[in-house]
């Protein structure tokens, strides 16, 4: 049901798996137009050698455009990909009650609406299930199989098996706002918007640090521009309202201003970035550093950063009686949420706080903040020392958690809450975020590698800075920090 980009794409996925598919759209001629578009796509795949001409022909033979709902009478599964409006989906499924057999499954591709709200008005709500594909459905591997409170387990089992037979990677989850991906991914955008609200740094710095320090394929700012701010803002508002205006999901006035101004991102030619021929015209300025300062390292220092410096070609002086790292006489500390100013007051030394990175061996950038006691010459000497490791330092305003630290902490926190609330299993949460959001690995896995205690410390520091409840730590994550328990999938 629905011959737009999503509906046609899902039809193509099913047909390529060898299933007979009927495609319908309430707009006359739209289904046939959808099949013409699919034929063109198949021809391109043949030209690129991804399909043989015979395979393409068989796929096309399995696709049929139909002009009325009654044509679905013999279907064992009807999947809707129509407008994201509750009334429209309910009306459709209630109409299908009188057409399809009692054991046919009704699946919805909704990304944010309650499965129970869609199912309840139908004659057999137990057969209604969520089958949420990601765009473009032909390329994206993930399918969220979403069960409402009234769903019959066998229905979810059949849809899970069907998605796997279509070559997808299905995960199971319950019908809660945002399901897995759209819920757990909110902080990826939200923390970038918070940094921009605070004028802590430029958009391109956020994207560079998240990609080159975190290993993400796209930064949050460029991803919002790519998705479209109207779409991203609407999803955020939907999740915010569905969670009864929980401050954790509050939309950003910065993004609202873009939407109001029609600055929607790539599709309008301007968002946070300005685009020329589809490419952003803004670039990150190159950093020029003087000679690096002398690195002094405690013999007992065992962090990944200390090991990087110890194994570098820099002049490193190791000293007894200290486990700290100092460059040019300045104490270097990885963020635990406290600001550089706080750390200078606590230690009595000039301090530079540096951001977390996902993998010290491969990270090429990180953000940092200086305390008032750090001179420009010392700041540059520290930048030069990190550059010798292959890491570009981007100095930003002295905000709690910097760029990547706060982002990783908030995403892991959301994943931990979803796990505690039974939204999905640990393995399904991490799998969904890797396959549906292209994360380098799952947030519950990185909570293990970065340490729950450090993540909770960052959240607590953010809570002190913004005491509205947005940064409250998940009870499950805090418990893991206190006990040393692992949240990562087994």
Active-site residue list: 111, 132, 144, 182
Selection from 182, 180, 106, 235 nearest residue 172 by Cα:
180
- How buried is 16 (Cβ within 10 angstroms: 0-12 exposed, 13-18 middle, 19+ buried)? buried
Structure tokens at 76: 């064992």
94/199 Cα distance (integer angstroms): 50
Cβ atoms of residues 39 and 8 within 8 Å = no
Helix ranges, 270-389 (H): 304-310, 340-347, 376-388
* Residue ranges of E strands in 45-91: 63-65, 77-80
80/480 Cα distance (integer angstroms): 41
β-pair type (169-174, 142-147): parallel
Question: Distance of CA 169 to CAs 11, 32, 127, 144, 148, Å?
Answer: 17, 29, 22, 9, 20
- How buried is 43 (Cβ within 10 angstroms: 0-12 exposed, 13-18 middle, 19+ buried)? middle
Q: Per-residue DSSP letters for 228-291?
A: -HHHHHHHHHHHHHHTTS-GGGPPPHHHHHHHHTT--BGGGTBSSSBEETTEE---PPPP---S
Structure tokens at 66: 């139909």
Question: Distance of CA 483 to CAs 2, 364, 424, 487, Å?
Answer: 50, 33, 23, 11
């Amino acid at each position: 049901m629905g011959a737009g980009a999503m509906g046609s794409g899902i039809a193509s996925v099913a047909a390529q798996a060898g299933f007979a598919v009927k495609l319908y759209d309430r707009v006359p001629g739209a289904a046939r137009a959808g099949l013409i578009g699919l034929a063109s796509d198949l021809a391109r795949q043949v030209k690129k050698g991804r399909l043989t001409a015979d395979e393409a022909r068989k796929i096309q033979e399995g696709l049929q455009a139909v002009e009325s709902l009654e044509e679905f009478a013999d279907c064992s599964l009807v999947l809707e990909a129509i407008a994201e409006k509750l009334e429209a989906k309910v009306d459709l499924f209630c109409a299908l009650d009188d057409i399809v057999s009692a054991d046919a499954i009704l699946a919805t591709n909704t990304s944010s609406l309650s499965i129970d709200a869609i199912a309840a008005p139908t004659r057999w709500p137990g057969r209604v299930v969520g089958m949420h594909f990601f765009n473009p459905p032909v390329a994206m591997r993930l399918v969220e199989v979403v069960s409402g409170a009234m769903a019959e387990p066998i229905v979810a089992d059949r849809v899970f098996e069907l998605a796997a037979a279509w070559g997808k990677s299905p995960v199971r989850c319950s019908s809660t706002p945002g399901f897995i991906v759209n819920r757990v991914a909110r902080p990826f955008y939200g923390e970038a918007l918070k940094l921009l609200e605070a004028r802590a740094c430029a958009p391109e710095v956020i994207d560079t640090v998240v990609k080159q320090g975190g290993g993400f394929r796209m930064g949050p700012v460029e991803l919002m521009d790519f998705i479209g701010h109207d779409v991203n803002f609407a999803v955020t508002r939907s999740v915010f309202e569905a969670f009864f205006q929980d401050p954790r999901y509050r939309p950003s006035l910065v993004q609202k201003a873009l939407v109001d101004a029609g600055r929607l991102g790539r599709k309008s030619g301007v968002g946070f970035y300005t685009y020329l021929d589809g490419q952003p015209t803004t670039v990150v300025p190159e950093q020029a550093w003087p000679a690096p300062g002398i690195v002094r390292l405690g013999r007992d220092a065992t962090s990944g950063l200390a090991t990087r410096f110890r194994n570098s070609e820099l002049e490193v002086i190791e000293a007894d009686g200290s486990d700290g790292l100092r460059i040019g006489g300045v104490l270097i500390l990885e963020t635990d949420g406290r600001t550089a100013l706080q750390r200078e007051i606590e230690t009595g030394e000039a301090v530079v706080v540096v951001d977390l990175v996902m993998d010290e061996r491969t990270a090429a950038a990180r953000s940092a903040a200086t305390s008032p006691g750090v001179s420009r010459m010392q700041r540059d000497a520290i930048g030069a020392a990190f550059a010798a490791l292959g890491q570009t330092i981007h100095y930003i305003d002295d905000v709690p958690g910097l760029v990547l630290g706060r982002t990783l902490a908030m995403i892991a926190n959301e994943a931990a809450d979803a796990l505690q609330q039974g939204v999905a299993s640990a393995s399904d949460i991490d799998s969904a975020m890797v396959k549906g959001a292209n994360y380098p690995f799952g947030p519950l896995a990185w909570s293990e590698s970065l340490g729950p205690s450090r993540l909770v410390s960052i959240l607590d520091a953010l809570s002190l800075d913004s005491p509205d409840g947005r940064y409250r730590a998940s009870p499950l994550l805090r418990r893991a920090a206190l006990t040393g328990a692992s949240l990562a999938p087994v």
